[in-house]
Amino acid sequence: MQEVNVNEVPKGAQIIDVREPDEFAEVHAVGAVNIPMSEFTSRVGELDLDRDIYLICKSGGRSGQVREYLEQRGIDAINIAGGTSDWVAQGLPNSRS
């Protein structure tokens, strides 16, 4: 499984937050785009396949599942271990800061 911790995500990366809209509205990584896991199969075309795809959720579980879904379709993606919880805990730019 291709995975990085929150401190390894490059600035300006394409971050896809797979949590539900209410979770995303509460707090999210600055620059993240919300494509909920529940809508992912119908919205996969919104991904920029010419850029690295970083996936994030609350703690890394759902984003890991979406990464596997993409991998099965021949699309490389990187799971962000620790998710938004770790992102906020590390003081990285988020919608609350």
Whole-structure pTM value: 0.96
50 part of the active site: no
In this predicted model, what pLDDT tens digit does every residue of 48-78 receive, in sequence order? 999 999 999 999 999 999 999 999 999 999 9
CA–CA gap between residue 14 and residue 34 (Å, rounded): 11
% of the chain at pLDDT higher than 90 = 98
* Bridge-based pairing state of the strands 3-5 and 33-34: unpaired
pLDDT-derived band at 1 (thresholds 50, 70, 90) equals: low
Residue 97 pLDDT: 75
- Can you tell me which residue has the tokens 């850029």? 51
**Given 57, 70, 78, 80, the catalytic residue:** 57
AA identity, residue 55:
L
Residue of higher predicted confidence among 94 and 97: 94
Q: Which of 4, 10, 3, 2 lies closest to 93, judged by CA?
A: 10
